Amino acid sequence: MWFRNLVVYRLPAPWAIDSEAFAERLAGRALPPCGAIEAETRGWVPPVKGGSYLHVIGGQWLIRLGSEHKLLPSSVVKQFVEDRAIELEEQQGFKPGRRQLRELKERVTDELLPRAFVRRRSEWAWIDPVDGWLVVDAASDARAEAIVEMLRDTLDELPLRRFDTERSPCSAMTEWVAEGDAPAGFTVDRELELRAPDEEKATVRYLRHDLEGEEIAAHIRAGKRATRLAMTWSDRVSFVLADSGHLRRLAFLDVVKESLDGTSGDGDAEFAAQFALMTGELRRMLPAVAEALGGERAVDVA
């Protein structure tokens, strides 16, 4: 249970919602199986098999959004439509028009969906009702927003706002690299992306590279800005900070994981210990990230 990519939102601190009532709401929007002609379904699933829809450990909450999606390749649909179009042309004596082809595609899709394989996937989110964090483990905004939208549909109201800071990550990261001086509690690691702000958006990426060279300084003087920067917090958690403010490729270092040695072999205990350890580290790290970026600024989710 280690999150890899963080999309961060803010809730009121503390968030006054009853955990039992919340769990009931989640259960009321459980994931339904894909029907014969449904392309996709979405709903909540228990984070731990056979458990509650709201997994609670040490006052921290874990939720899991599941989805089922029919795998129906467009190439397969296209081939069936082409075969049907040939048959239709032979019957009516002329090639089918756009409207007929569109109707053929709809019929073929409806016929093939019941025979398609179903792919299941999950999105995870951690809620800290005390300090007011909602953190989604998602590599894209679209996946994070899927959980937010489902939460809004599940609850009567969701007083949520984006995690935003007074300084933009782009300007802060550029300054840290240009001055060779990381914020307190952090180190700058050897990965960097610089991008020009013009229409062409010329981009330079450095991987496992010294960031103190003249070449990088010249790119910054020419106007390029940092859009991704690898960092480590307190020698405990490494990540890549993006200009969006999201934290990518999160990794909890050995000094953190050493405390888990006694839980190996017990799946449930290991899951609980990992979640407790992860949330404990993030509850300290996220305020430090905010401070490094000039403090938080409240912006409502659109």
Full pLDDT tens readout for the chain, 302 residues: 799 999 999 999 899 899 999 999 999 999 998 877 788 899 999 999 889 999 999 999 999 999 988 887 888 778 888 888 888 888 888 888 888 888 888 887 777 777 777 788 899 999 999 999 999 999 999 999 999 999 999 998 899 999 999 999 999 999 999 999 999 999 999 999 999 988 888 999 999 998 988 999 999 999 999 999 999 999 999 999 999 999 999 999 988 778 776 656 667 888 999 999 999 999 999 999 999 999 998 654 44
Q: What is the pTM of this model?
A: 0.83
pLDDT on residue 157: 86
In a domain, 1, yes or no: no
Q: Could you give the C-alpha distances from 259 to 126, 238, 243, 262, in angstroms and in order? A: 21, 18, 33, 7
Say if residue 20 is in the same domain as residue 144.
Answer: yes
Say if residue 34 is in the same domain as residue 157.
Answer: yes
Q: Helices in the chain by DSSP H: which ranges? A: 19-28, 74-92, 98-112, 141-154, 169-179, 214-221, 254-257, 267-292
Residue type, 243: D
In a domain, 47, yes or no: yes
Q: Which residues contact 84 (CB under 8 A, 6 or more apart)?
A: 104, 107, 108
pLDDT on residue 302: 42
pLDDT on residue 85: 84
Say if residue 154 is in the same domain as residue 28.
Answer: yes
In a domain, 64, yes or no: yes
Say if residue 246 is in the same domain as residue 134.
Answer: no
pLDDT on residue 255: 80
- How many domains, in total, are found in the chain? 3
Query: Percent helix, strand, coil in the chain (nearest 5)?
Result: 40, 30, 35
Say if residue 66 is in the same domain as residue 154.
Answer: yes
- Domain holding 217, by residue range, is 169-300
Residue type, 206: Y
Q: Could you give the C-alpha distances from 197 to 56, 220, 248, in angstroms and in order? A: 44, 11, 22
Q: Can you tell me the distance from the alpha carbon of 257 to that of 237, in angstroms, rounded to the nearest whole number?
A: 10
In a domain, 204, yes or no: yes
Q: Can you tell me the distance from the alpha carbon of 220 to that of 238, in angstroms, rounded to the nearest whole number?
A: 24
Say if residue 120 is in the same domain as residue 14.
Answer: yes
Say if residue 82 is in the same domain as residue 96.
Answer: yes
Q: Could you give the C-alpha distances from 12 to 59, 160, 162, in angstroms and in order? A: 16, 8, 12
Quickly count: other Cβ atoms within 10 Å of residue 186's Cβ. Answer: 18
Say if residue 235 is in the same domain as residue 255.
Answer: yes
In a domain, 22, yes or no: yes
In a domain, 279, yes or no: yes
Say if residue 53 is in the same domain as residue 97.
Answer: no
In a domain, 86, yes or no: yes
Task: Check if the beta carbon of residue 129 is closer than 8 Å to that of residue 61.
Answer: yes
Say if residue 47 is in the same domain as residue 17.
Answer: yes
Residue 11: name the closest of 61, 64, 66 by CA: 61
Say if residue 295 is in the same domain as residue 200.
Answer: yes
Say if residue 46 is in the same domain as residue 194.
Answer: no
